[in-house]
Structures are given as C-alpha cells and as structure tokens.
Amino acid sequence: MASLQLLGWASVAMFVIGLLGVVIRRNVLVMLMCMELMLNAVNLSLVVHAQRGDPAAATVLVFLVFVVAAAEIAIAIPIVLLLVRRRRTTDASAFSELRG
C-alpha cells in the first residue's frame, strides 16, 4: 500500500513539474515535452487507481490518454517544426499573431 501512495505522489510531482514547465518556459518544444510529462503523470495516476478499483475502466482510460498523446505529437510536432523553420526561433512569444 505504501508503494501505491508513493507512486501517487510521484504522479502528482510529475504533473506539477509539467505544469510549471508549460507555464514558465517559453520554448515551444519544451512546452510540448512538459505536456507529455503531464499526460504520463495522468497515466501513472490512473494505473495507481486501477490497483484499488476497476482495472478494466482504468485500462480503457490509459489507452485513451495514450491515443491523445500520440495525436498531440503527430499534429503538434510538424506544426511547431514548420513555424520554427519559418521564424528561426522556438520562443512562444514569436508566434503571438497566430491567436484566433
């Protein structure tokens, strides 16, 4: 039981580190990596909670988070690479005119 609590706190720490990375850092690629860290923290939390409750539901949710993470990377990385190639910078403030 203590190891489950440790894993739960590890997932919270990973999520907070990812959130701080998204909020503090201005590099677009680092922000994407921090978002992936947050998604992995959610997956770890779901696996920890699966040990206590319904493992089938948690398995489905973990698979859904994996699909969302893969879609995020498949769409975001090419967009970011095209923007970086055009602007020659990875600073997020250089892309401020892209707001809708």
- Cα separation, 80 vs 91, whole angstroms: 11
pLDDT reading at 99 higher than 80:
no
Instruction: For 34-64, write each residue's pLDDT tens digit.
Output: 999 999 999 999 889 888 887 888 888 889 9
Please give the share of the chain, as a percent, with pLDDT higher than 90: 45
DSSP summary character for residue 53: S
Domains and CATH numbers, the chain: 1-91 (1.10.287.3510)
Assign 100 a pLDDT band (cuts: 50, 70, 90).
low
pLDDT of residue 1: 64
Given a contact cutoff of 8 angstroms between Cβ atoms, the answer to whether 24 and 61 are in contact is no
Residue type, 97: E
Residue 88: phi and psi, rounded to 5, are 60, 30
pLDDT of residue 58: 85
Given a contact cutoff of 8 angstroms between Cβ atoms, the answer to whether 7 and 23 are in contact is no
Instruction: Please indicate whether residue 94 or residue 24 has the higher confidence score (pLDDT).
Output: 24
Given a contact cutoff of 8 angstroms between Cβ atoms, the answer to whether 44 and 6 are in contact is no
Considering the chain, what is the average pLDDT of its residues? Answer: 88
Say if pTM beats, i.e. exceeds, 0.85.
no
